[in-house]
Amino acid sequence: MKRDKAHAFALKDLRELSVHVVHAPDEDGLALLDHLRRIGCKAEAHWPPPERLPGHADLLFVAIDREIHAQVTKLLRRAETAPAVVAVVDYENPATLQLVLETRSFAVIGKPIRPFGLLANLVVARNTFLELEKLQGRLSTLEAKLASERNIAKAKSILMEFQGLSEAEAYRSLRAQAMAKRTTIEEIALAIVHANDLLNFRPDRA
């Protein structure tokens, strides 16, 4: 598979990361914050879970705890841009793993907090997040292209039916109209589809 190096996360980007930590300021919370800053990240701590993150967040380390789960869920929903979440867990049991899944975490670290594995999980979470973001962008582009092709096909069918044109002639008509109006074939096709929908609107079928 072809890799997009320009979009992948690189270690030199560590110092540019905005990292937020939602964890009680206990021994593990303080150790996590200390290790993140030692790695080179700009880490900021929050406790109790705030209603909103102050500004942009690339990564969010969050304690998995049933008592704060509802607050964390709201926090993630309200985030301006969804960060890559790294879950911080005490126990590995079904109930805890369910909470991890609900936070849509990209990586998991266990307590007690240790330096070993922290950087690897951070890098994997951030890189996976960027890969997913890139795939979602491609999916959106493909969906838009597919919708556009559907509109062009429908507009051609309308022209073929009402003007007795062949498919090639209908396409040439769309292209000529687009050139005359200095717009795209997609825009002309969409206008024809909308006009056809309006002309064929029947209140009794609405």
Dump the DSSP string for the chain.
Answer: ----GGGS--GGGGGG-EEEEES-SSHHHHHHHHHHHHHT-EEEEESSPPSS-SS--SEEEEE--GGGHHHHHHHHHH-SSPPEEEEEES--SHHHHHHHHHTT-SEEEESSP-STTHHHHHHHHHHHHHHHHHHHHHHHHHHHHHHHHHHHHHHHHHHHHHH---HHHHHHHHHHHHHHTTS-HHHHHHHHHHHHHHHT--GGG-
* Rounded percentage of the chain residues whose pLDDT exceeds 90: 77
Structure tokens at 89: 């867990």
pTM metric for this prediction: 0.76
* pLDDT band at residue 81 using 50, 70 and 90 as cut-offs: confident
25-51 per-position pLDDT tens digit:
999 999 999 999 999 898 999 999 999
Residues 115-150 have pLDDT tens digits of: 999 999 999 999 999 999 999 999 999 999 999 999
Peptide bond into 115 cis (omega under 30): no
User: DSSP states of 154-187 as a string?
Assistant: HHHHHHHHHH---HHHHHHHHHHHHHHTTS-HHH
pLDDT of residue 8: 67
What pLDDT does residue 1 have? 43
pLDDT at 109: 96
Decide if pLDDT at 5 tops 60. no
Give the alpha-carbon dihedral of 110, 115, 117, 120, to 10 degrees: 130
